[in-house]
Amino acid sequence: MLSYTIRRILGAIPTLFVLVTLCFFMIRLAPGGPFEGERNLPPQIKANLLEKYHMDQPLYKQYFSYLDDLLHGDLGPSFKYQDWTVNQLIAKGFPVSLKIGLWAMFWALLLGLALGSIAALRQNSWLDYAVMGLSMSGVSIPNFVTAPLMVLVFALMLHWLPAGGWGHGGLYNILLPVIALALPQIAIIARIMRGSMIEVLSSNYIRTARAKGLRTSTIVLRHALRPALMPVVSYLGPAMAAVLTGSVVIEQIFGLPGVGTIFVQSATNRDYTTVLGLVILVGVLVVAFNLIVDILYAVLDPKIRY
């Protein structure tokens, strides 16, 4: 297992290298640059800016200089947030996205797995239809609709929770964003869990267990749950990376200082270094979560060994 993990980590290096290279050149292909705005800059002022950020040099030189800095752990200065480096921006923004994302995924897993399992156990009953109906709504109603609705009810009508803002990042401020972020995940996980649980429950070894007279709870918790979790675990790898690196929509709606907000603003402002830094962060997380998922497979399924 250890050698497998090391091999996977080493294998991620060329993946990340290709990612950085592609992204470095692709973002330069986008029209416009970081210093263009409603106010057109006089040519000399623009030249001063390009020189300051070494953007007056040939692109290949900029690329190698970026790689050199990257190897030293320096993601460069931000063009948009001029007083901060990309390292600082990530260090400040990522914990915010992480906090909201982890809470959302915690609730999504807890409720999604429970609801999915209940629906599977009561297949074709009113309970199943109710859970699946809600789940379908959760999947199909985007969170840019549910979030403002929740704000309307809980902030503007009932005055229980704030309409937005981070404050000190306490429960009071994060509750609505966490719910808005968790709802579609609960729905997706419940649907995956229901499908896979139904499949597992109809397999031969479960029938054998039932024939032996085991209680339903024992069958579900000891024999069915682990194999039924496999598809959910597969889904969790990319989902965790996506949720943890910030939900662009949720962060914008609630005005939260996470990396999702920075990502959008950097892309629209052609803040090359910040976009690259965040792409690297997402890349590292995707690789890491896929690795964790693969390791979890081995834990959950005795047939899988590396």
Alpha helix (H) residue ranges in the chain: 2-29, 43-52, 59-71, 86-121, 126-140, 143-150, 171-201, 204-211, 216-218, 225-244, 248-254, 259-268, 272-300
What residues between 157 and 216 interact with another protein by CB under 8 A? 159, 162-166
Is residue 29 involved in binding another protein (CB under 8 A)? no
Q: Which position among 19, 104, 151, 276 is part of the footprint of another protein (CB under 8 A)?
A: 151
Question: Which of 232, 240, 248, 256 touches another protein by CB under 8 A?
Answer: 256
- Cβ pair 190, 116 in contact under 8 A: yes
Judged by beta carbon, residue 14 or residue 37, the one nearer another protein is: 37
Residue 32: phi and psi, rounded to 5, are 85, 165
Position among 2, 58, 73, 83 found at the interface with another protein (CB under 8 A): 83
What residues pair up with 85 in beta bridges, in sequence order? Answer: 77
Nearer to another protein, 240 or 253 (CB): 253
Lay out the site mask for another protein across 258-287 (x = CB under 8 A, - = otherwise): x--xx--x--xxx-----------------
User: Are 201 and 116 a contacting pair, CB within 8 Å?
Assistant: no
- Does residue 51 touch another protein according to CB under 8 A? yes
Work out the angle at residue 266's Cα, subtended by the Cα atoms of residues 260 and 269, and round it to the nearest 5 degrees: 145
Q: Residue 17 or residue 160: which is nearer to another protein going by CB?
A: 160
Q: Between 236 and 256, name the residue whose CB sits nearer to another protein.
A: 256
Binding residue for another protein, selected from 28, 92, 99, 122, defined by CB under 8 A: 92
Lookup: tokens for 238: 């990319």
∠ Cα 248 250 256 (to 5°): 90
Among 26, 30, 136, 221, binds another protein (CB under 8 A): 30
* 183 in Cβ contact with 104 (< 8 Å): no
Give the one residue of 2, 3, 38, 58 binding another protein; rule: CB under 8 A.
Answer: 38
Distance CA 292, CA 193 (A): 19
Which of 11, 133, 142, 255 contacts another protein by CB under 8 A?
255
Residue type, 143: N
Contact between 16 and 2 under an 8 Å Cβ cutoff? The reply is: no
66 binds another protein (CB under 8 A): no
Decide if residue 93 touches another protein (CB under 8 A). Answer: yes
217 is an interface residue for another protein by CB under 8 A = no
> Looking at 3, 10, 14, 40, which residue binds another protein (CB under 8 A)?
40
Residue in 39, 72, 212, 305 binding another protein, rule: CB under 8 A: 39
Cα 231 to chain centroid, rounded: 18
77, β-bridge pairs: 85
Nearer of residues 13 and 47 to another protein, judged by Cβ = 47
Q: Which two tokens stand for residue 229?
A: 């979790």
**What token pair was written down for 290?**
């896929």
- CB of 127: closest distance to another protein in angstroms? 36
Interface residue list for another protein (CB under 8 A): 30-33, 35-45, 48-49, 51-52, 77, 80-84, 88-89, 92-93, 96, 148, 151-152, 155-156, 159, 162-166, 252-258, 261-262, 265, 268-270
